[in-house]
């Protein structure tokens, strides 16, 4: 039987079952019931019969099919399996597609279970808008520090310094995830920490004078809004966590018997423990019958499936007549840091631990979440008792250097 011609191939019609039209040397055209015409090559290697897919006619012409047949025969003559090579090449392409920066970033994002809904949405929006169009298709292990810097400089040029710094942190987390999962050797984004322009630091308004704090606490006690917001507002000064961490607190993370709240700090992706003073436990026990069956300690008023809004604490403060230039939800942290240090004389490292800031030992290693826990428990009870005394009108010691 002679070699196939284009004229002969064009006349081939589909049948009820697939059939073959040989071209010689193991090469044949497989005609499928749907009308497809597929090049196949039968061969033997190491005593086993194998089959190699060469392509689809007319995308792969007769001449090209014969050329690929000859290349395969040369490989076979050198004890190389052409089908095995093709499978390896396909696996490499799939692996490369799965290891682009965008693919790894999306995988990392899907595993960030500690992200709130809004945080997850904002992080992905930044990546899709500012990073993926520039380096998303690049193999993640080939991206260098200058590549990331080029991306971040574009953001800086728009005057968005805070966004540039946040984006560097996000890219660094993605690269560290790639290192852990074996798809990169190091984190080049982490090396850029000092390469960006300083961010525009916005100091959150806070009351730090004990006399002012006393009045604030009395005003909070008089809040008449919903019970979840009222409880969150009362607890905020005692625990001085970040506002986002307070509003998204989950009952599953709180042990009222042990008087502890354990959760992951979203900003640093580290584990943290908040010892709960007796006053906080009392407030939570009051709230538990109302929200304890749900996930969130302070659920949204609209739906219990989500935590209360970002603006809930701030709106409550405004409702009490406290202006944005006087106090914010974040201001409770500055209030605690200042008074614990300057009035109560607590060791600064204990305060920094409780603020979930990075604190390192003499060898430069980060302390774990249980570091100085007994001392921190005493500090948190001392702080809560001090606030109660302020609220009750006890004698007030002003900050050092200020008049009483």
Judge whether 21 lies within some domain. Answer: yes
**What CATH number does residue 56 fall under?**
3.30.160.390
Is pLDDT above 50 for 364?
no
> In total, how many domains does the chain have?
3
- Identify the pLDDT of residue 94: 64
Same domain as 65, residue 113:
no
Q: Is 333 a catalytic residue?
A: yes
Same domain as 387, residue 256:
yes
Same domain as 322, residue 240:
yes
Q: Is 263 a catalytic residue?
A: no
Same domain as 333, residue 249:
yes
**Is the bond leading into 58 cis (omega within 30 degrees of zero)?**
yes
Mean pLDDT of 284-288: 95
Nearest Cα neighbor of 286 from 213, 224, 235, 223 is 235
Same domain as 181, residue 72:
no
Mean pLDDT of 345-350: 88
Is pLDDT above 80 for 110?
yes
More confident residue, 266 or 77: 77
Task: Quickly count: other Cβ atoms within 10 Å of residue 143's Cβ.
Answer: 21
- Identify the pLDDT of residue 22: 93
Active-site annotation holder among 86, 242, 369, 389: 242
Give pLDDT tens digits for 172-190. 999 999 999 988 899 999 8
Q: Is 267 a catalytic residue?
A: yes
| CB distance 221 to 320 below 8 Å | no
More confident residue, 157 or 90: 157
Same domain as 224, residue 154:
no
Q: Is 288 a catalytic residue?
A: no
In which domain, by residue range, is 78 found?
6-84
Active-site annotation holder among 37, 165, 330, 353: 330
Judge whether 128 lies within some domain. Answer: yes
d(CA 231, CA 247): 11
Same domain as 138, residue 107:
yes
Mean pLDDT of 123-149: 92
- Identify the pLDDT of residue 200: 55
pTM: 0.51
CA angle at 304 for the pair 303 and 308, rounded to the nearest 5° = 80
DSSP 241: -
Q: Is 242 a catalytic residue?
A: yes
Q: List CB contacts of 202: < 8 A, sequence separation 6 or more.
A: none
**What CATH number does residue 131 fall under?**
1.10.150.130
Mean pLDDT of 72-101: 79
Judge whether 266 lies within some domain. Answer: yes
Judge whether 292 lies within some domain. Answer: yes
Nearest Cα neighbor of 143 from 106, 191, 175, 109 is 175
Question: Mean pLDDT for the chain?
Answer: 85
Say if residue 247 is exposed, middle or buried (CB neighbours under 10 Å; 0-12, 13-18, 19+).
buried
- Identify the pLDDT of residue 392: 87
Nearest Cα neighbor of 329 from 202, 205, 166, 162 is 205
Mean pLDDT of 315-332: 80
Same domain as 217, residue 126:
no
Active-site annotation holder among 168, 183, 247, 333: 333
Same domain as 355, residue 290:
yes
Question: Please, what's the b/e burial string for 307-329 (b: 16 or more CB within 10 A of its CB; e: otherwise)?
Answer: bbeeebbbebbeebebeeeebbb
**What CATH number does residue 362 fall under?**
1.10.443.10
Which of 59-68, 199-208, 352-361 is the most confident on average? Answer: 59-68
Q: How confident is the model at residue 400 (pLDDT cuts 50, 70, 90)?
A: very low
Same domain as 180, residue 60:
no
Active-site annotation holder among 153, 357, 369, 389: 357
d(CA 48, CA 70): 19
Active-site annotation holder among 67, 93, 117, 267: 267
- Identify the pLDDT of residue 401: 42
- Identify the pLDDT of residue 402: 42
Give pLDDT tens digits for 29-46. 999 999 999 999 999 888
3-state secondary structure of 169: helix
Is pLDDT above 60 for 203?
no
Same domain as 233, residue 278:
yes
Mean pLDDT of 134-141: 90
């Amino acid at each position: 039987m002679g070699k196939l011609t284009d004229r002969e191939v064009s006349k081939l019609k589909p049948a009820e079952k697939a059939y073959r039209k040989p071209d010689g040397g193991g090469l044949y055209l497989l005609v499928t019931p749907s009308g497809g015409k597929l090049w196949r090559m039968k061969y033997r290697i190491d005593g086993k019969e194998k089959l190699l897919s060469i392509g689809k006619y007319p995308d792969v012409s007769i001449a090209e099919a014969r050329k690929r047949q000859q290349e395969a025969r040369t490989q076979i003559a050198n004890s190389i399996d052409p089908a095995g090579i093709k499978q390896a090449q396909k696996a490499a392409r799939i692996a490369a597609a799965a290891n682009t920066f965008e693919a790894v970033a999306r995988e990392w994002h899907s595993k960030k279970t500690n992200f709130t809904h809004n945080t997850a949405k904002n992080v992905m929006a930044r990546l899709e808008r500012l990073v993926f169009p520039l380096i998303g298709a690049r193999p993640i292990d080939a991206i260098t520090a200058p590549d990331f810097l080029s991306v971040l400089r574009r953001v800086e040029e728009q005057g968005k310094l805070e966004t540039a710094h946040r984006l560097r942190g996000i890219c660094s987390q993605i690269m560290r995830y790639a290192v852990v999962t074996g798809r990169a050797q190091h984190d080049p984004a982490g090396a850029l920490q000092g390469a960006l322009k300083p961010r525009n630091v916005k100091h959150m308004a806070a009351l730090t004078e004990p006399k002012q704090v006393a009045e604030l606490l009395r005003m909070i006690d008089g809040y008449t809004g919903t019970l979840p917001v009222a409880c969150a507002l009362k607890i905020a000064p005692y625990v001085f966590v970040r506002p986002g961490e307070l509003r998204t607190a989950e009952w599953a993370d709180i042990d009222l018997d042990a008087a502890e709240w354990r959760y992951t700090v979203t900003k640093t992706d580290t584990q943290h423990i908040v010892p709960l003073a007796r006053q906080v436990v009392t407030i939570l026990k009051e709230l538990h019958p109302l929200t304890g069956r749900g996930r969130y300690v302070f659920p949204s008023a609209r739906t219990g499936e989500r935590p209360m809004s970002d603006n809930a604490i701030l709106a409550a403060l405004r409702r009490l007549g406290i202006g944005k230039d006087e106090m914010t939800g974040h201001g409770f942290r500055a209030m605690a840091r200042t008074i614990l240090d300057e009035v109560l004389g607590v060791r600064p490292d204990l305060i920094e631990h409780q603020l979930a800031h990075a604190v390192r030992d003499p060898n430069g290693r980060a302390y774990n979440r249980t570091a100085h826990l007994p001392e921190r428990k005493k500090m948190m009870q001392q702080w809560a008792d001090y606030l109660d005394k302020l609220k009750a009108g006890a004698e007030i010691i002003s900050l050092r250097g200020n008049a009483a």
